[in-house]
Amino acid sequence: MPPEAGAGIAYHQALNPAQLEAVRFGDGPLLVLAGAGSGKTRTLTYRVARLVEEGVDPRSILLLSFTRKASQEMLQRASLLLDARCRDVAGGTFHSFANATLRRYAAVIGFEQGFTIIDRGDAEDLIGIIRKEMDPPGDGRQLPRKSTLATIFSRAVNKQRPLEDVLYDDYGHFSDMVDTITTIREQYTRRKREHHFLDYDDLLIHLHLLLTEYEAVRQRLAAKYRYIMVDEYQDTNPIQADIVSLLADAHHNVMVVGDDAQSIYAFRGADYQNILDFPKRFQGTRIVKLEENYRSLQPILDFTNRLIESADAQYSKCLFTRRHGGLPPVLVMTAGENAQSRYVVREVARLRREGTSLDRMAILFRAGFHAFDLELELNRAGIPFKKVGGFKFTESAHIKDLLAHLRIVAAPDDQLSWRRVLGLIEKIGPKTADRIFAAVRAHSQGAGGLLSAPLKMKNQAKLQPLKDLIGALTDAPEAVARWGELVFSYYLPILRAKYDDHPRRQRDLEQLLAIMARYRHLDDFLSDMVLEPPSTAIEDGLAAAEPTAECLTLSTIHSAKGLEWDTVFILWALDGRFPSMRSMEDPDDLEEERRLMYVAATRAERELHFTCPVQIFDRATQSLLCDPSRFLDGIPENVLRRENYPDW
Residues acting as catalytic residues: 40-41, 231-232, 262, 603
37 annotated as a binding-site residue: yes
35 annotated as a binding-site residue: yes
Residue 219 CA to residue 115 CA, distance in Å, equals 24
Do 335 and 614 contact (CB within 8 A), yes or no?
A: yes
Q: How far is the CB of 85 from DNA (least distance, A)?
A: 26
Buried b (16+ CB within 10 A) or exposed e, 376-412: ebbeeeebbbbbbbbebbbeeebbbbbbbbbbbbbbb
User: Strands 286-290 and 361-365, how do they pair?
Assistant: unpaired
* Residue 328 vs 562, nearer CB to DNA: 562
39 annotated as a binding-site residue: yes
Q: How far is the CB of 153 from DNA (least distance, A)?
A: 12
Strand partners, 385: 552
Residues forming contacts to DNA in the complex (CB under 7 A) are 66-67, 93-96, 119-120, 124, 128, 131-132, 142-143, 145-147, 200-201, 264-265, 267-268, 366-369, 389-390, 423, 426-433, 531-533, 535, 556, 558-559, 580, 582-583, 589, 619-620
41 annotated as a binding-site residue: yes
* Residue 430 vs 503, nearer CB to DNA: 430
40 annotated as a binding-site residue: yes
Q: How far is the CB of 370 from DNA (least distance, A)?
A: 8
Residue 17 CA to residue 588 CA, distance in Å, equals 35
* Residue 330 vs 563, nearer CB to DNA: 563
Do 560 and 388 contact (CB within 8 A), yes or no?
A: yes
In whole angstroms, what separates CA 96 from the centre of its chain? 12
Integer Rg of the chain from CA = 26
DSSP string across 434-479: HHHHHHHHHHTBTBTHHHHS----TTGGGGHHHHHHHHHHHHS-S-
Residue 253 CA to residue 256 CA, distance in Å, equals 10
Q: How far is the CB of 232 from DNA (least distance, A)?
A: 11
* Residue 18 vs 181, nearer CB to DNA: 181
Q: How far is the CB of 516 from DNA (least distance, A)?
A: 20
* Residue 264 vs 275, nearer CB to DNA: 264
Neighbouring C-beta atoms of residue 181, cutoff 10 Å: 25
Neighbouring C-beta atoms of residue 241, cutoff 10 Å: 21
Residue 35 CA to residue 321 CA, distance in Å, equals 12
Q: How far is the CB of 586 from DNA (least distance, A)?
A: 10
* Residue 102 vs 290, nearer CB to DNA: 102
Residue 240 CA to residue 270 CA, distance in Å, equals 9
Q: What is the DSSP letter of 141?
A: P
Q: Which residues are annotated as a binding site for ATP?
A: 34-41
Q: Which residues are annotated as a binding site?
A: 34-41
